Amino acid sequence: MVRGLTPVVCRRMGLSAAAPLWGAPGLLLTIALLLALSLHPAQTWAPVHRDYCVLGAGPAGLQMAYFLQRAGRDYMVFERAPGPGSFFMRYPRHRKLISINKRYTGKTNAEFNLRHDWNSLLSHDPRLLFRHYSDAYYPDASDMVRYLSDFAERLGLHVLYNTTIAHVTLNKDRRAWNGHYFILTDHRGQAYQCSVLLVATGLPVPNQVDFPGSEYVDGYESVSVDPKDFVGQNVLILGRGNSAFETAENIFSVTNFIHMLSRSRVRLSWATHYVGDLRAINNGLLDTYQLKSLDGLLESDLTDLAIVKDHQGKFHITLKLFMEAGNQSSDAIPLPQDDNDNFAMRVAYDRVIRCLGWKFDFSIFSKSLRLSSGSELSKKYPLVRASYESKGSRGLFILGTASHSVDYRKSAGGFIHGFRYTVRAVHRLLEQRHHGVAWPSTEHPITHLASAIIRRINEASGLYQMFSVLADVVLLKENATIFEYLEEFPMQMLAQLETITGRRARHGLFVINMEYGRNYSGPDKDVFFSDRSVGHMEDAWLSNFLHPVIYYYRHLPTEQEVRFRPAGWPLPRPSALHHVVEDFLTDWTAPVGHILPLRRFLENCLDTDLRGFYAESCFLFALTHQKLPPFCQQGYLRTQGLVGTESLRQHGVESGLLWDSAIMGQRQGASEQQPGNHRPGGHPLAPGPPVSPFNSNKEEL
Amino acid sequence: MMSSSFSVFRAGISFVMMCIFYTSAVDSPELSPQKFFSTLQPGKATLVYFCQAESPRTSMFLEELNEAAKPLQDYGISVAKVNCVTEETSRYCGSEKDMMKAYLFRGNIALREFPTDTLFDVDAIVAHVLFALLFNEVKYITTLGDLQNIENALKGKGNIAFAYVRAIGTPEHRAVMEAAFVYGTTHQFVLTTEIALLESIGPEDIEYPHLYFFHCKPVLDLTQPCRRILMKQSLTTLNIHQFIKTMEAPLLTEVTEDPRQVSTVHVQLGLPLVFIVGQQATYEADRTTAEWVAWRLLGKAGVLLLLRDSLEVDIPEDTNVIVRRAEEEAQMEFLALNHIDLIVFHVESTMYIEEMGKYEDMEDLNIGIQDDEVEETVYRDRKRQLPLELTVELTEETFHATVTASDSIVLFYAGWQAVSMAFLQSYIDVAIKLKGTSTMLLARVNCADWSHVCTKQNVTEFPVVKMYKEGQNPVSYTGMLGTEDLLKFIQLNRISCPVNITSVQEAEEYLHGELYKDLISYSSMSVLGLFSPTMTRAKEEFTEAGSYLKGYVTTGIYSEEDVLRLSSKYTVPLPALLLARHKEGKIESIPLVNVHVQDIVQIITNASLETFPEITVENLPIYLRLQKPLLILFSDGGIDLQHEKTILMLAKKKYLDSLTPCWLNLKKTPVGRGVLQAYFGTLPPLPLLVVVNLHSGGHVFAFPSDQAITEQNLLLWLKKLEAGLESHIKVLPAKEWKPPLPAYDFLSMMDAAASEHLTRKDPECIKETDVQEGDKEQPDDKSAITEESTGTLKMKHSSRSSWFEEAKKLLRHDNKEL
């Protein structure tokens, strides 16, 4: 992951280069076209067909290529640059990635370790882990370039380098998978016909704000990174993302002062729990501002701004409003301090630097694709569904950084450690849609349900990184004796689960999600308040830190229910809900604190007894009851009972949970106790008193 | 209780309660119109039905009307039926088309007419009639504005009972109207059927009817809203009555007597009493706290303030709250709760259990106590050091190399999963027993550490045992998860399966248990397949069956040229199976006719069953598969040979074919005592014969203990049993295995918090400041403070960012001047 709002995916420089070409008709264009025509008469060649076309060989493009390759699909990746990950050749400008390369966790579980590895792509090859490429906790961007190039090469991914896709259109054809083909035309005029188009072009276009004097501003993409160039200067930085602070961090020790100006207040990632907000590694300037060391932060709408250059070449801040008064010489333009002599930005600046982030390049996509930009908040991203498919054309998917509109400012979908999983989800969707390969799942007897959930919440990295976006789903089979476990399903698509996965959800389901506490995250939240941690399992629903939440639905929610879910809920109101209490070590394996309440929840949802029993107990039940608990049915009766050892038996007798022959002998003839109903220890073992499951409770009340 | 409250006379309509001749509760009399009008009394309400002719439709309505007569009469409303067919007609009779109409009269004035289809049942009739009569007392509204107007009008004057019902004429509508009949003059009743109106008030599930009580009377500042209390119970007349009673009760009572003696309306209504124990010195603060609790528990419990120093009775030193349940025998609970929420939670949570009414005899209901024997025993044993070094721990790096280098058994387990950790102990026991003797490597993988290794081996649940042998696909162990069975599996896997026998002599040794002497103790039966060398397909099928049974049964194959010598010795045509039972020293022969793998497996599995086995924990499941009733001989120690002989004889004579005869050694299988105790309640004298019909009906029959177990007696008893002449001593429970305890209902907790937040938001503002002054420790002032502080933050923020705005203003100002 690169700085904050900075894109991570390969920057398709070819696309940005193409933009002025298309935008400036004239001699240049004509010559270029003529050249192309004369040099490449092959433009009229029949289009090459590929089932899958991937635009961009950045992390997301390569990740998708990996899955397509493993599935043996017909695909091609198109990349303008001569190698993969060209964005990282130039960005971030100061070369330090702020995505964590945590090499030591004290654990050997490879899946768990991916929770703390923000740079690796997913593959079966353990050599292709980023920790083999850099020792730095915040690695250097060139290591990322090297890593991506190894990834593509070692896995033999099909990438067409030095190929700039200049134009993408739609061609209706009833034989096509989606009723149309995507026609891609490269800079040589070669056309490619694709059944499915996967756009992983990142956010290649720098955001610019147009105001009088904006021509005096240095852009992040070209500003000097040598602190010497800033010695003794007054610097104004526009923007408040990680790129702005990264720039400030680099020079603030040598400048007179730095002022930072942006529309919104600073959002600190440790308060918002969003990795794209300002990270502590870049926030040195906040320290100097708050400790009165001349640097400072200001809030204003940049579109009101104007910059005036005086005869000494210094820059003055004024209002656009003042400029509109007429064509005045620079010295005559009124400044705010003329009337308001304590105006904050009354000093003259030596430099103004723009660090305003990037946006998606819409220019190569023809109107027929109906690829539009998102809402005000996520204008820089193309609009997609929760399945990452474009709302405008079926078969067009947005991957990687550009797909971040789905979880912008919420989860990690805009960064490598998040989108490597969403790309996998898209691939699983495609496998089902076009090749009849159902979403991978495992099937188990119901007695393994608690274990299956515990395993995932303790190690799954996709759930952890893409919290509240990807969730595991447990589909119950008839009679709820067997369940299917599906991993990392885009939870907003829950209503369409059957179509997307090819699995049936007719008998109820569980959704396993990870969540922060409601009202815990936010730019103005005090995340260190004294009662922030919850320790008791009965208060689990008040947990603040990321913790597992399990939703139980008796029926698959409908699209309406998902869309009109209660405010602040990631899913519609379930039939029952369970929070596993937050854990300081994110280790949810405590037998009483974590596993027991989970089992009780599952038992009450399924209206059954999910306890484990030794073979001896099952033997007793088998001869004294007409029905057996599921554990005995699915284990003991299939000659797979758990025999146990003498020392365990002893503990069982001591705890009063296990049948004790000694006591039984002593009470011979004296006791009316029935072994099935009341144990010496007082704990009920046999079918306890009937407990209404959640559903019936509700109805009675 | 209700009927007595409802027989109150009410102002407004003067009802005559005496029974006029036609208001019989059983049947409404039929009158002619003229006669009817002559009976109407001034001020008296009458519901009259004018009927033209009998038809099925009218007769149904008349039935409902008859039934409604009694309840209506309780409210002083008469019911009558007027027959329009006889002599003269009335305008109320109408034409034939609208013959289905009823009218409500007060005196001789018609108040309302009802199409009979609105009066579809008793509830609808009572609801509609009362609704019409109580027009002034019950305001029907449709918008939030209406509600606010009523609320504002009543502030400082009276309270409101606001009900949402799904429709007019429903049972809950009737309940509200009946309550309004009693309480309509003391409280303003407001009714709506608009869901949107309800939604604007609270977050509750709008599918259900709701009743709120608005405490408007205490609100003196007109800008403050009325405090709203939602009735949690369903809308029945009795519940509403109870609810309003608690709403009318004083919010907080101060008492000076013994808390055991105190009685309030709450006790009569079956609600608990909560005493807040304070003292004179902190009276003001204590009273504030008590008021707080009282508002929170309004309608759920009575709250009283008790001053420690004004009381003779001793209260434990640290007690600050006493809870007294409504039940007479209930113990007083002396509690030390330092948080209002805890008090509320304590009262509500125990109420919840009472409502469930299912845990009465479980005082120590505790969701947080472990009741899983496997989890608990493994947890208690966690500190024991296992000699894990006897098995090889495999990792991602070593797994592949190890299992390919030598024959290995691998246990896949997870360190946090109790069942697999329990089995790990047995696994280590196997390792101890095999130490130094086995060529098989015992290894283990902790899937909590090496997740990917397990996933690659297709292990997604725990525990799993797999055997890796060179050149073969890994085989999963499917036997009992215990030392003995796993040991048997490992030992029997030492030889190939089926083992290739090369000479007749070797075959004989094999059949007599001499070839693999050390394996006899693991497999009491050896199977030998006999095939002539040309029977390739049959051999293949048998070989496959053999490898399927690998680790469970010893199988061998012989197909040399001289195989006929064996075939003739055991008088069986080829292909054939020879089954050698070592314990009994018998060799059985079974011809194989056109059989497939599955059939061969089936034959061998069935043959491995004994006629009269000793039943154990390990082998019971195998015998249960036969789905027959068990004939069990319980024996304290070894079996009496005479009894064994008797049963074997009966079995031989095919008398026991419909049963599975077996015996149980209580010394070896002590849990058998538990079985006996379940059957007899006590431990009966042994030996003892029972028939347990597990698979149909669960009946248990006991062979009379005064009879000797002889062939004759037993046979006679079994015949009587079959004929249904014996009565069972016990029916085994057929209960489903339900959740042993409830789970935390987080959804309800969230709802409660949300609704509290909503209802508390405004009405309690005044209170909140009071509380802050009175007691700084109050839980909710924290939120107030943070709200305030965020407010100031916002202000600062906006002032800082407004410099541009100010500059703009300045400019405009300048322009004007110019």
B371 chain-A contacts, CB cut-off 8 A: 611, 657, 683-685
- Whether A643 and chain B come into contact, CB under 8 Å, resolves to yes
Residue A394 CB: number of other CB atoms within 10 A?
Answer: 15
Phi, psi of A5 (to 5 degrees): -80, 0
Question: What ipTM score was computed for the predicted complex, to two decimals?
Answer: 0.86
**DSSP 3-state assignment of A161?**
coil
Q: What was the pLDDT predicted at B142?
A: 85
Residue A652 C-beta-side C-alpha neighbours within 13 Å: 26
What is the model's pTM? 0.71
A106 chain-B contacts, CB cut-off 8 A: none
**Residues contacting residue B291 through CB under 8 Å, at least 6 positions apart:** B251, B252, B767
pLDDT digits (tens, 9 = 90+) for A556-611: 999 999 999 988 899 999 999 999 999 999 999 999 999 999 999 999 999 999 99
B416 chain-A contacts, CB cut-off 8 A: 454, 458, 589, 595
Structure tokens at A67: 């899955």
Q: What was the pLDDT predicted at A62?
A: 98
Residue B109 CB: number of other CB atoms within 10 A?
Answer: 9
Q: What was the pLDDT predicted at A691?
A: 42
Q: What was the pLDDT predicted at A130?
A: 97
A309 closest CA partner among A216, A392, A194 = A216
Pick B670's closest partner by Cβ from A343, A600, A661: A661
- Whether A695 and chain B come into contact, CB under 8 Å, resolves to no
Q: Is the peptide bond before B498 cis (omega within 30 degrees of 0)?
A: yes
CA distance B543 to B527: 12
B341 closest CA partner among B317, B319, B321, B363 = B321
Label the pairing between strands B576-581 and B586-591. Answer: antiparallel
Query: Residue B47 carries which side chain, given as an amino acid letter?
Result: L
Of all residues in chain A, the one with the smallest CA distance to B384 is A647
B449 chain-A contacts, CB cut-off 8 A: 107-109
A164-177 residues labelled b (16+ CB within 10 A) or e (exposed): bbbbbbbeeeeebb
Q: Mutate which of A619, A631, A671 to disrupt the B interface (most B C-beta within 10 Å)? A: A619
B732:A625 CB<8 A: yes
CA distance B291 to B276: 10
- C-beta of residue B251 within 8 angstroms of C-beta of residue B159: no
Regions of chain B short of the pLDDT cut 50: 1-27, 352-364, 760-818
Phi, psi of A554 (to 5 degrees): -75, -25
B466 by Cβ neighbours in 10 Å (0-12 / 13-18 / 19+) ranks as buried
Measured in residues, chain A has a length of 701
| DSSP assignment string, B686-706 | SSEEEEE-TTTTTEEEE--TT
CA distance B167 to B1: 27
- Residue pairs spanning A and B at CB distance below 8 A: 359
What does the radius of gyration of chain A's CA atoms come to, in whole angstroms? 30
Measured in residues, chain B has a length of 818
**Which regions of A220-339 does DSSP assign to beta strands (E)?**
234-238, 257-262, 296-299, 305-309, 315-319
Residue pointed to by tokens 């009675």: A700
The dihedral over CA atoms of B475, B480, B483, B486, expressed in degrees to the nearest 10, equals -20
CA distance B190 to B183: 12
Q: Is the peptide bond before B687 cis (omega within 30 degrees of 0)?
A: yes
B372:A599 CB<8 A: yes
- For chain A, give percent helix, strand, coil, nearest 5: 35, 20, 45
A674:B677 CB<8 A: yes
Q: What was the pLDDT predicted at B791?
A: 32
Q: Mutate which of B746, B792, B793, B805 to disrupt the A interface (most A C-beta within 10 Å)? A: B746
Of all residues in chain A, the one with the smallest CA distance to B684 is A669
**DSSP 3-state assignment of A606?**
helix
Label the pairing between strands B464-468 and B253-255. Answer: unpaired
- For chain B, give percent helix, strand, coil, nearest 5: 40, 20, 40
| DSSP assignment string, B600-647 | HHHHHHHHTS-SSPBP-TTTHHHHHTT---EEEEEESSSPPHHHHHHH
CA distance A56 to A62: 8
- C-beta of residue B198 within 8 angstroms of C-beta of residue B210: yes
Structure tokens at A631: 């554990």
Residue A121 C-beta-side C-alpha neighbours within 13 Å: 30
Residue ranges of A 469-498 with Cβ closer than 8 A to chain B: 485
Pick B746's closest partner by Cβ from A578, A688, A697: A578
A612 chain-B contacts, CB cut-off 8 A: 372-375, 418-419
Structure tokens at A611: 């306890």
Regions of chain A short of the pLDDT cut 70: 1-45, 324-331, 376-377, 661-701
- C-beta of residue A425 within 8 angstroms of C-beta of residue A488: yes
A685 closest CA partner among B482, B733, B621 = B733
Q: What was the pLDDT predicted at A662?
A: 54
Residue pointed to by tokens 């349900």: A449
Q: Which residues pair with A543 in a beta bridge?
A: none
Residue A608 C-beta-side C-alpha neighbours within 13 Å: 19
Per-residue H/E/C for A528-581:
CCCCCCCCCHHHHHHCCCCEEEEEEECCCCCHHHHHCCCCCCCCCCCCEEEECC
Q: What was the pLDDT predicted at B293?
A: 85
- Whether A585 and chain B come into contact, CB under 8 Å, resolves to no
Per-residue H/E/C for B564-601:
HHHHHHCCCCCCEEEEEECCCCEEEEEECCCCCHHHHH
B738:A301 CB<8 A: no
B447 chain-A contacts, CB cut-off 8 A: 455
Q: Which residues pair with B665 in a beta bridge?
A: B635
Query: Residue B294 carries which side chain, given as an amino acid letter?
Result: A
A675 chain-B contacts, CB cut-off 8 A: 674, 677-678
DSSP, res B92 = G
Angle between helices B483-492 and B418-434 (to 10 degrees): 50
Q: What was the pLDDT predicted at A470?
A: 97
CA distance A157 to A60: 13
